[in-house]
Amino acid sequence: MSLSDLISHMDLSVFPEVALVIFAGVFVAVSARTLRADRAAFEAAAGLPIDDPAPAREEEPRE
Amino acid sequence: MSDSPSSGEPASPQAAGLETFRYDDGLPRMFLMATLVWGVVGMLVGLIVAIQLVAPSLGGLHEWLTFGRLRPLHTNAVIFAFAGNAFFCGAYYSMQRLLKTRMYSDALGKFHFWGWQAIIVSAAVTLPLGFTQGKEYAELEWPIDIAITLVWVVFALNVFGTIARRRERHIYVAIWFYIASIVTVAVLHIFNNLSIPAGALKSYPIYAGVQDAFMQWWYGHNAVAFFLTTPFLGLMYYFLPKAANRPVFSYKLSILHFWSLVFIYIWAGPHHLHYTALPEWASTLGMLFSVMLWMPSWGGMINGLLTLRGAWNKVASDPVLKFFVVGVTFYGMSTFEGPMLSVKTVNALSHYTDWTIAHVHGGALGWVGFITFGMAYWLIPRLFQTRLASPKLAEAHFWMGTIGILFYIVPIYVAGLTQGLMWRAFDATGRLAYPDFVETVNALMPMYWVRVVGGVLYLTGAILCLGNAVVTWARRPERYEEPVYEAPALGPYEPSSAESPWGSKRGDGGAFFDLRRFAALRWHRRWEALPLTFTAWVVVAVVVASLFEIIPTFLIRSNVPTIASVKPYRPLELLGRDIYIAEGCYNCHSQMVRPLIAETERYGEYSKPGEFVYDHPFQWGSRRIGPDLHRVGGKYPHLWHLQHMEEPSKVTKGSIMPPYPHLLRDPIDWSAAQKRVEVMAMLGVPYGDTVRHAEEDARAQAADIARALGEQIHPNDPAKQAAAAERYKDKQITALIAYLQRLGTDIKAEQAQKK
């Protein structure tokens, strides 16, 4: 029996539901991990784009 | 501007533990100008094809300038040249600052820039010449595909090298979006373009029919996701906080936004193939995940808009923020509409109509375009180190662009609904209310004219932006300042480090944290410098979803039930099919009769999966500006096709199809027949003995068709019949007629047998 035969005999109508369960599981895991993370460190991370350090030498060009 | 990485990374530290470095702004400068130049070019081609639809005579000026050849040029230019360069520009600018380092290699950056521009130029040359793979947004032929892969790998090396050298432990969420884009686009590009060359600029995909369609829309949908959405979300998460001078509203939400998108998007591709010969379960799966996409997309939109909390007063005066606000709003609108269109019942009405075109342009002009222009206006003064030449023109651009978008999408929504409803309208006697397809096209002309006005406005705005950038560039300082920055080098990775958002919670149980303990091994510490684990998770999310759909589609025999009467194309028909592909007929004609009563009434028997098993590539199309052609075989005499291709409007009054006189003039490339049949045979098409005398077979069939043509042109004059047969027996039109007359006929033989 080839892989094609095997998969051809499977009932794939449950595939959307299986996919939904996989997704929901991953989503819950990612959410739980994100929500448990440290707030202060996230605030520091969120500030990365706007916390540009001043140049050590030479003036930054004026806008 | 220094070229070598060593001079970009000054060796002698200022103080103990501190390293000094300069940013390379030369590369973002080059990508920015390329973005604006190619944007104008791509939008101009878009305007030309929009005008061709209302003034079809312009389509016949030259064979290089027909709608079918220019439309792929428009889509490729705006996607890969305009949006692509914008992504590279923003990524190179933001990554250096977010990671506190110069890019890994100036040389790789330069190779990336010039390589990408060379690819764009080669696309601009080959597409009008008719070299195409015939798959939407993947039209470029195999040598260019290899070049794209090479340049993409160089880009990836530079990005990952930079991340490895970073001086900031945390990788900001914008860079997550860049990484996801880079790895996913690589996977999509490679697998959708797997093909066997049949000439220097000709190839056949290894997939056929249903499987090719599936791969193509897995690619097409995710190209929208990972070339036009995630890169620009990355840009939004950097440049919007920058312009508003506020941190992103919720960093946690941005992480959920990221993982949800990466995980859901890949599954949604089959919604492009509802009611086609795709299996039902795959179609449902695509619909389900498309509807789920709405949630994270709106999370992202809300996150973007709320980043402006307390800064809304700036929106009134700052054109950059204006562009961003409208751009993010269009992201919200498109990502609501996309899931809605993926619902099968809505799709039954919207598919193949202009509704799709309106949806795409809401996203392209509103989201991608406006995020790009907002970013450009923020970057221009910073990169050219002088004031923006004209803030007033930037303001004018904003209003022109916004009104241009509305003038584009509103009439095209109306056009889509109008045509969709006309196709399915029945009169009181149960017959189609608009049996002539051309009626349903002519009804759209007023809307198409308004679209031209919208396009002119949007293009004018883009030209203003380019002009503003060029004048600002002309006023640049004699020498750009390159300030030196200092930051401490990253020490070895400490699992308990509080620098990581997850650091303080580590070790308190749970699967993730056990994995982390395992990660404390020494070999792994070195890997931590590279965000390999992260990238691996992205790849896992993308590959799992892909395999879930692809494996069954390829392996289940019942997905594509064999139809005994379906035979391979004869060599001449194959050559004709290649002409059909080269002319880009799929841009206006579908080959997929859906199992809907309005379609079977109009076109005939609905299309079966087994009918496409020899179609490398599939040609189902995605838009009907002209009628479906899957059952056109045998519908008209040869002469009808000849006259129709020569001057469509003479045969069908009101037709907006361009004329193809060159097909009646240009000879068939007989020498190609053998090679092409051989490649088809290599792909598993059962050609049997024909593979040994492909050219002979093609010439014989051409002589038959030319003889029939002669009889139809001069029914009562044998001498003239012979002359006409002689004239057409080696012309391209004969090959195309052979193909068109074959289309969808094999199944009729089976039905006749049953009777």
pLDDT tens digits, residue range B24-55?
999 999 999 999 999 999 999 999 999 999 99
User: What pLDDT is stored for residue B731 in this prediction?
Assistant: 96
For residues B412 and B141, what is the distance between their CA atoms, to the nearest angstrom? 31
User: What pLDDT is stored for residue B2 in this prediction?
Assistant: 38
**Per-residue pLDDT averaged across B295-308, rounded?**
93
Residue B5 is assigned to a structural domain of this protein: no
For residues B189 and B176, what is the distance between their CA atoms, to the nearest angstrom? 20
Q: Which amino acid is at B277?
A: A
Among residues B474, B504, B524, the one where a domain terminates is B474
The residues pairing with B486 across neighbouring beta strands, listed in sequence order, are B20
User: What pLDDT is stored for residue B279 in this prediction?
Assistant: 74
- Determine whether B738 is exposed, middle or buried from the number of CB atoms within 10 Å of its CB (0-12, 13-18, 19+): buried
> In the numeric block, which tokens belong to residue B403?
């009104």
B465 and B575 part of one domain: no
B710 and B577 part of one domain: yes
> How far does the CA of residue B319 sit from the closest CA of chain A (Å)?
15
Residue B541 is assigned to a structural domain of this protein: no
User: What pLDDT is stored for residue A57 in this prediction?
Assistant: 67
pLDDT band at B125, cuts 50/70/90?
very high
Interface test with A, best of B211, B245, B285 (most A CBs within 10 A): B285
> In the numeric block, which tokens belong to residue A6?
């095997």
Of the candidates B251, B284, B505, the beta carbon closest to that of A36 is on B505
Partners of B553 on chain A (C-beta within 8 Å) are: none
User: What pLDDT is stored for residue A7 in this prediction?
Assistant: 62
**Considering only B7-21, B627-641, B677-691, which range has the smallest mean pLDDT?**
B7-21
B130 and B263 part of one domain: yes
B579 and B470 part of one domain: no
> In the numeric block, which tokens belong to residue B545?
């979803």
Residue of B578, B469, B562 whose CA lies nearest to B198? B578
B456 and B344 part of one domain: yes
Give the CATH number, domain containing residue B707: 1.10.760.10
Q: SS3 for B434-465, per residue?
A: CCCHHHHHHCCHHHHHHHHHHHHHHHHHHHHH
**Considering only B195-209, B256-270, B467-481, which range has the smallest mean pLDDT?**
B256-270
For residues B233 and B181, what is the distance between their CA atoms, to the nearest angstrom? 10
Read off the pLDDT of residues B238-284 as tens digits, 9 standing for 90 and up: 999 999 999 999 999 999 899 888 888 888 878 877 777 677 777 88
pLDDT band at B502, cuts 50/70/90?
low
Task: Count interface pairs A-B at CB distance under 8 A.
Answer: 145
Partners of A38 on chain B (C-beta within 8 Å) are: 498, 501-505
Indicate yes or no: CB of B382 within 8 angstroms of CB of A61: yes
User: What pLDDT is stored for residue B423 in this prediction?
Assistant: 96
Q: β-pairing, B195-199 with B18-21?
A: unpaired
B470 and B576 part of one domain: no
Residue B150 scores a pLDDT above 60? yes
Read off the pLDDT of residues B78-99 as tens digits, 9 standing for 90 and up: 999 999 999 999 999 999 999 9
b/e map of B622-652 (b: 16 or more CB within 10 Å)? bbbbbbbbbbbbebeebbebbbbbbebbebb
Q: How many domains does chain B have?
A: 2
For residues B450 and B403, what is the distance between their CA atoms, to the nearest angstrom? 12
Supply the mean pLDDT for chain A: 75
Q: Which chain B residue lies closest to A58 (C-alpha atoms)?
A: B483
Among residues B418, B450, B474, the one where a domain terminates is B474
Of the two residues B275 and B543, the one the predictor is more confident about is B543
pLDDT band at B528, cuts 50/70/90?
very low
Helix-, strand-, coil-residue percentages of chain B, each rounded to 5: 70, 5, 30
**Considering only A32-41, B36-45, B335-344, which range has the smallest mean pLDDT?**
A32-41
User: What pLDDT is stored for residue B44 in this prediction?
Assistant: 97
Residue B134 has phi, psi (to 5 degrees) of 75, 20
State whether ipTM is beyond 0.85: no
Partners of A3 on chain B (C-beta within 8 Å) are: 555
Indicate yes or no: CB of A37 within 8 angstroms of CB of B252: yes
User: What pLDDT is stored for residue B301 in this prediction?
Assistant: 95
Contact A63, B387 (CB under 8 A): yes
**Considering only B9-13, B400-404, B629-633, which range has the smallest mean pLDDT?**
B9-13
Supply the mean pLDDT for chain B: 89
Q: Which chain A residue lies closest to B510 (C-alpha atoms)?
A: A33
Residue B494 is assigned to a structural domain of this protein: no
> How far does the CA of residue A39 sit from the closest CA of chain B (Å)?
8
List alpha helices for B275-390, DSSP H: 280-306, 312-317, 319-342, 344-350, 354-361, 370-383
Residue B587 has phi, psi (to 5 degrees) of -70, -20
> How far does the CA of residue A48 sit from the closest CA of chain B (Å)?
6
Q: Which chain A residue lies closest to B498 (C-alpha atoms)?
A: A41
B272 and B123 part of one domain: yes
**Per-residue pLDDT averaged across B677-706, rounded?**
94
Residue B501 is assigned to a structural domain of this protein: no
B583 and B719 part of one domain: yes
Distances (CA, A) of B418 to A4, B426, B442, B503: 44, 14, 11, 57
Residue B74 scores a pLDDT above 80? yes
Read off the pLDDT of residues B437-466 as tens digits, 9 standing for 90 and up: 999 999 999 999 999 999 999 999 999 999
pLDDT band at A11, cuts 50/70/90?
low
Match 């009563």 to its residue by tokens: B597
Q: SS3 for B101-145, per residue?
A: CCCCCHHHHHHHHHHHHHHHHHHHHHCCCCCCCCCCCCCCCHHHH
For residues B369 and B324, what is the distance between their CA atoms, to the nearest angstrom? 10
Interchain CB contact of B245 with A (< 8 Å)? yes
Match 């195409």 to its residue by tokens: B132
**Per-residue pLDDT averaged across B337-345, rounded?**
91
Would you call the peptide bond into B617 cis, given omega within 30 degrees of 0 as the criterion? yes
Residue B503 is assigned to a structural domain of this protein: no
Q: Which of residues 530-589 of B touch A (CB under 8 A)?
A: 541, 544-545, 548, 551-552, 555-558
% of chain A residues with pLDDT over 70: 67
Residue of B137, B41, B47 whose CA lies nearest to B82? B41
> How far does the CA of residue B50 sit from the closest CA of chain A (Å)?
39
How many residues make up chain A in this entry? 63
Residue B561 is assigned to a structural domain of this protein: no
Residue B354 is assigned to a structural domain of this protein: yes
**Per-residue pLDDT averaged across B619-647, rounded?**
96
Residue B528 is assigned to a structural domain of this protein: no
Give the CATH number, domain containing residue B243: 1.20.210.10
Among residues B474, B505, B529, the one where a domain terminates is B474
Of the two residues B548 and B227, the one the predictor is more confident about is B227
> How far does the CA of residue A21 sit from the closest CA of chain B (Å)?
12
Interchain CB contact of B12 with A (< 8 Å)? no
Residue B8 scores a pLDDT above 70? no
Of the two residues A30 and B559, the one the predictor is more confident about is A30
pLDDT band at A8, cuts 50/70/90?
low
Residue B504 scores a pLDDT above 50? no
SS3 B700: helix
Interface test with A, best of B255, B263, B308, B494 (most A CBs within 10 A): B255
Contacts of B61 (CB under 8 A, 6+ apart): none
User: What pLDDT is stored for residue A45 in this prediction?
Assistant: 86
Partners of A1 on chain B (C-beta within 8 Å) are: none
**Per-residue pLDDT averaged across B456-481, rounded?**
97
For residues B11 and B605, what is the distance between their CA atoms, to the nearest angstrom? 73
Q: Which chain A residue lies closest to B261 (C-alpha atoms)?
A: A27
Read off the pLDDT of residues B402-416 as tens digits, 9 standing for 90 and up: 999 999 999 999 999
Of the candidates B20, B499, B555, the beta carbon closest to that of A3 is on B555
For B746, the domain range is 571-754
Contacts of B581 (CB under 8 A, 6+ apart): B132, B133, B134, B617, B619
Q: β-pairing, B202-205 with B195-199?
A: antiparallel
Contact A18, B482 (CB under 8 A): no
Partners of A23 on chain B (C-beta within 8 Å) are: 263-264, 267, 289, 292
